[in-house]
Amino acid sequence: MSALLEKVKKNLILDHNEDDELIASYITAATSYAEGYQKKVSGFYEINPMDPTTEQAVIMLSSHFYESRDGSTGGFFQDKVDASEQVWRVVNMLLRMNRDVVI
């Protein structure tokens, strides 16, 4: 997961390691969401590679979880009321692209 952790940190523009454990937990949650949404067995991505669109969805969702820890919308779109909803729409769209793909 270290490669995915580094990609999420780059997406968040983080250059410290203080929140690595927290971000790793968000990656786990986002990956679990992806597996469920794509109707794959739990742990599927522990033994199978992620398609790039699924990986992007996990990166986006992990970043969203990190930036919205208090339940509000955070980060770049913090002043947009529907930003959180838009994140979920994009993530779900990306995950739909590989719902039936088994690598």
Domain range for 35 is 2-96
**CB under 8 Å, gap of 24 or more: what pairs does 67-76 form?**
67/12
Q: How does 81-91 read in b/e, with b if 16+ C-beta sit within 10 Å?
A: eebbeebeeeb
| pLDDT above 70 coverage of the chain, percent | 83
In this structure, is residue 34 part of a structural domain? yes
Q: Is residue 102 part of a domain?
A: no
Q: How many residues does the chain have?
A: 103
> What pTM value is reported for the model?
0.82
Three-state DSSP at 73 gives: coil
Residue 11 lies in a domain: yes
Average pLDDT over residues 78-96: 77
Tell me, what's the pLDDT at 32? 97
Number of domains present in the structure of the chain: 1
DSSP state at residue 71: S
Residue 77 has pLDDT above 70, yes or no: no
- Region 8-19: mean pLDDT is 96
